[in-house]
Structure 1
Amino acid sequence: MDYLKILREDSNLAADFDALFDFWLLDGLEERDTAEGRCTFSLPGKTFARDGAGGEYHQLEDGSIGYMSSEGECGRIAESIDDLIHLLVYSICWHDYCDASQYTNISTLEAYANKRHDEIASYTEMDVWETVVKALGMNSKGNVAAELQKFYDAAHRAPLYTSYFHEDDGTVTESQNLFF
């Protein structure tokens, strides 16, 4: 399904999506923020969305999705736009699921996913969430653990997606991984 087209064609839906998931869809592809030419990336790509803190979502040349935060973290987060939208919708706040120690086995991941999801859902406008899910033609009963496993796998697939900041003194600082 072309989720980005649906969001671009319905400004109210796009506003609700942004309010829920901190995902501001751009009108089209743009150059990535390179901090005035001081930041380079391991893979070619273009920005297609931003978050409120200055982070960017990048569509990489192989169709996968990368993310660069304003705090210096960078990595691949999904294999496709569809996988990204599923991650955003079903995890609600993917940034809260980056503890690598919780991905050791399926039972640990499921417990982690369910606990975090219940916490996030307790302060999320779930009626708006339901409206967004329905408008996108998605199932309201997603498998959070399955979406998180795809996220983890994408983030760790080679080649890794990283950024490099070129300091004034000539040193280069590699971005931090999204998982800690």
Structure 2
Amino acid sequence: MDYLKILHEDPELAEKFDSLFDFFLLDELSQRDDADGRATFTLPGMAFARDGSGGEYHLLEDGSIGYYSSEGEAGRLAENMDDFFSLLVSCICWKDYCDANQYVDSKTLEGYGQKQRSVNLEDIDVDSLRQISDAFGIATDKELVPILERFRKATQRQPLYQCVFHEDDGSLTESYGLMFE
């Protein structure tokens, strides 16, 4: 499914999506924010969305999805758009699902995922979530283990998606991973 096209063609849905998931869709694929040439990335890609804190979502050359935060975190979130949108819609606030200690077995992971989802559902517009879920064909009541396992696997796939920041003094600062470290 072409999720970006759906959002581009339905501004009202895109606004709800941004409101729920802090996901501002760019008008078109754009150059990544490279901090005036000071940030370089390990994999080619283009920005397609931003979040409210200045982070960017990147479509990487191999079709996987990367993220670069304004705090210097970088990493791959998903192997493709289907996995990415499944993660966003099913696991509201994906950054809340990054505790490596909870990924020990399926039972623990499912309990952790469901607890996080319940907490996050308390603060969102459930009708908007239902509308988005229906438009994308992504059920929000399914088991989370497969989604979360794909998420973790994508974050760890080699080569890692990273950013190197070129400091004023000529030194280099490597981004730190998004999670699971």
Instruction: Decide: shared fold, TM above 0.5.
Output: yes
Residue in 2 that maps onto 1:178: 178
1:1-180 to structure 2, matched below 5 A, reads: 1-179=1-179, 180=181
Alpha-carbon offset, residue 148 of structure 1: 1.3
Alpha-carbon offset, residue 122 of structure 1: 1.4
Letter in 1 for 2:115: K
- Whether contact under 8 Å (2:89, 2:138) holds in the other structure is no
Number of positions where the alignment pairs a residue of Structure 1 with one of Structure 2: 180
Structure 2 gap segments, 5+ residues each: none
Deviations 1:79-105 (A, max 9, x none): 011111100000011011111121122
Alpha-carbon offset, residue 50 of structure 1: 0.5
- Displacement over 6 Å in runs of 4+: none
SS at match of 1:158: coil
SS at match of 2:130: helix
Cα distance in 1 for partners of 2:2, 2:155 equals: 23
- Whether contact under 8 Å (1:47, 1:56) holds in the other structure is yes
TM-score by length of 1: 0.96
Deviations 1:50-84 (A, max 9, x none): 11110000000000000001111000000011111
Cα distance in 1 for partners of 2:52, 2:144 equals: 24
Cα distance in 2 for partners of 1:108, 1:128 equals: 29
SS at match of 1:148: helix
SS at match of 2:145: helix
TM-score by length of 2: 0.96
**Root-mean-square deviation over aligned CA pairs:** 1.0
